[in-house]
Amino acid sequence: MTSYLIGLVGSGIGPSASPALHEREADELGLRYVYRLLDLDVLRRPVADVVAAARATGFDGLNVTHPAKQAVLPHLDELSPEAAALGAVNTVVFDGGRAIGHNTDATGFACSLTRGLPDVRMDDVVLLGAGGAGAAVAHALLSLGTGRLTIHDVDGERSAKLVDALRRRFGAGRAQTGDLEAVQRADGLVHATPTGMAAHPGSPVPMELLRPELWVADIVYRPLETALLAGARARGCRVLHGGGMVVLQAAESFRLFTGVEPDPARMLRHFDTLEGKAARAA
């Protein structure tokens, strides 16, 4: 039986659904698959050391999450075209001693959005967060046809850098920096920061900025019903939780690690089982 050893690198990743999602799909496909958490807070080692140790000890690949999606870049040998364009990596494949970085977040978010909110207006969208996940979401939104994307991040230099990269890829007029007030005129709002996670409670947006015509998507999935989504739902907004993105990016990562095609629909059903009723509240 073919076997794989995979890890997840990030901070505060104890609640991650990735081990269960990957290992269950491997079981369905008859693969021996071990998925380990490599929590930077627990290991107290920098990303460089964790990647080097995983490479030396025979890991086949790594998933990478907050806060390491950009920090991992200097420690890789090669980037896929998508990862290079995004400037962020969430999947590392070890191949013949080389560490190759990929990004499956953009396609994961795009598929989740078109599946969960298939008919929403996307002429004017606000994105909160310009880190690794935010970069992937930004590329996904513009690829799906967003006309004007306004990006807000507490680090103004980071948001400006992302806007510059987006303009080079998609044209000068489609991305800009802005503040939270842009939410008041937008069709949609996407949240791509850690705020709302169990370790970072709260909402990144004052509820008075939300109105029923606005749709709201959150990439956080633990908990699925973040403070932002709960508030948006109460104000009449259509909402999308982060569960679809985490499953669909995991499916693509699984394919990169194994060369075997997973069944995304089956993985979504498994996620529903793991999360219960909350997973079905789009």
- Mutual angle of helices 243-258 and 264-275, in 10-degree steps: 130
| 151 known member of a binding site | no
- The amino acid occupying position 166 is L
For CA atoms 214, 218, 224, 228, the dihedral sign is: negative
| 6 known member of a binding site | no
| 196 known member of a binding site | no
| 63 known member of a binding site | no
| 219 known member of a binding site | yes
| 105 known member of a binding site | yes
Q: Distance between CA atoms of 79 and 269, rounded to whole angstroms?
A: 32
| 242 known member of a binding site | yes
Name 115's Cβ contacts closer than 8 Å, sequence gap at least 6: 244
Whose CA is closest to 27, among 267, 231, 210, 271? 267
| 276 known member of a binding site | no
| 130 known member of a binding site | yes
Q: Distance between CA atoms of 112 and 148, rounded to whole angstroms?
A: 20
- Please confirm, yes or no, whether 161 is among the known catalytic residues: no
Q: Distance between CA atoms of 70 and 38, rounded to whole angstroms?
A: 17
**Of 66, 69, 75, 102, which one is the catalytic site residue?**
69
| 259 known member of a binding site | no
| 114 known member of a binding site | no
H helix runs in the chain, sequence order: 18-28, 40-43, 47-56, 81-86, 105-116, 132-143, 156-170, 227-234, 243-258, 264-275
| 84 known member of a binding site | no
Binding residues for NADP(+): 129-133, 219, 242
Q: Which residues are catalytic?
A: 69
Binding residues: 16-18, 65, 90, 105, 129-133, 219, 221, 242, 249
Binding residues for shikimate: 16-18, 65, 90, 105, 221, 249
